Amino acid sequence: MPPDVDAMNAIPADVPQFDSHGLKSRQHKAWSSGDYAVIGTTLQIVGEQLAETCDICWDEHVLDVAAGNGNATLAAARRGAVVTSTDYVTTLLDTGAERAKAERLDVQFRFADAEALPFHDAEFDVVLSTFGVMFTPDHEKATAEILRVCRPGGRIGLASWTPDGFIGRLFKAIGWHLPPPPGSRAPSLWGTEAHVRALFGLQAQFLSIQRRQFCFRYRSAAHFIETFRTWYGPLHAVFKALDNDKAIQLERDLTALLDECNRASGRHSLVVPSEYLEVVLARR
């Protein structure tokens, strides 16, 4: 059985600080490979649901952190908000800008690191992130930046994959074949209520914490794997780093996981529910 990567990635007090800068550089290279937008556009419903839960109103100033190809960005702009969309991968910002232009939505797109946001204190009414900020190496620094740029009384909305959901299990399978750097923490920790409460502490009033599901829909397990290894940067990078035998074994493990989670068995298709944690809180 693969080890529990989430547990492995918890940092004991006596473990030296890991190389956050080096990890961020590797992450940037991974996310810049492939084309995340091919995967990201299928997740649009998550951004729409988060915008509804946050109750975004016309003319509110909204920041989308680690926006990817702009799902939450577009959802907020469709509700009349004044939106700034940020990411540290410029090609993703370009894709988001193309989508906004096609819908005639007026959105500002800016290059930005989620751990060092280039904005004034209390500049935004709402700060969003869907499957974005959860991948920052320094969880506390990213949290501090989100809190800093959100005005007192403003809302913060997050969507993060849970450790025990399909994507969380996929991360664990990948970590079994290519372990994460020592001292780093699993992104899926953001998908646990305890971790999010610990990060935001007394600086936030929690308004809504809900476990939701997104369903990945593909022709088959093979179709899912081919799509993700081609276009999803992190998996693209993992397959590229493994030798042929290990890549074949990873493909077998992912196929087994997909077949186990497939709820469309017998219909010659793949429908895999994946749990995520939707959190909405008010900045004190």
CATH number for 136: 3.40.50.150
Report pLDDT for 18. 59
Report pLDDT for 199. 98
Structure tokens at 67: 């926006």
**Closest by CA position to 275, among listed 196, 195, 216:** 216
Residue 107 CB: number of other CB atoms within 10 A?
23
Name, in order, each residue with C-beta under 8 angstroms of 256's C-beta and a sequence gap of 6 or more: none
Report pLDDT for 180. 86
Report pLDDT for 267. 74
Q: Is residue 52 part of a domain?
A: yes
Q: Is 97 helix (H, G, I), strand (E, B) or coil?
A: helix
Q: Is 244 helix (H, G, I), strand (E, B) or coil?
A: helix
Residue 90 CB: number of other CB atoms within 10 A?
11
Structure tokens at 197: 């409460």
Q: Is residue 101 part of a domain?
A: yes
> What are phi and psi for residue 194, nearest 5 degrees?
-60, -45
Structure tokens at 175: 């970590």
Dihedral (C-alpha) 86, 143, 140, 7: value to the nearest 10 degrees?
Answer: -90
Q: Is residue 20 part of a domain?
A: yes
Q: Is residue 134 part of a domain?
A: yes
Q: Give 28: exposed, middle or buried? Use CB within 10 Å, 0-12, 13-18, 19+.
A: middle
Report pLDDT for 17. 54
Q: Is residue 232 part of a domain?
A: no
- Tally the domains of the chain: 1
- Residues facing 87 on adjacent strands: 111
Domain that holds residue 96: 16-168+179-215+274-283
Q: Is residue 251 part of a domain?
A: no
Q: For residues 160 and 143, what is the distance between their CA atoms, to the nearest angstrom?
A: 14
Residue-by-residue pLDDT tens, the chain, 284 positions = 343 434 333 333 343 455 777 777 777 777 777 789 999 999 999 999 999 999 999 999 999 999 999 999 999 999 999 999 999 999 999 999 999 999 999 999 999 999 999 999 999 999 999 999 999 999 999 999 999 999 999 999 999 999 999 999 999 999 999 988 888 899 999 999 999 999 999 999 999 999 999 999 999 999 999 999 999 988 999 999 999 999 999 999 999 999 999 999 777 899 999 999 999 999 99
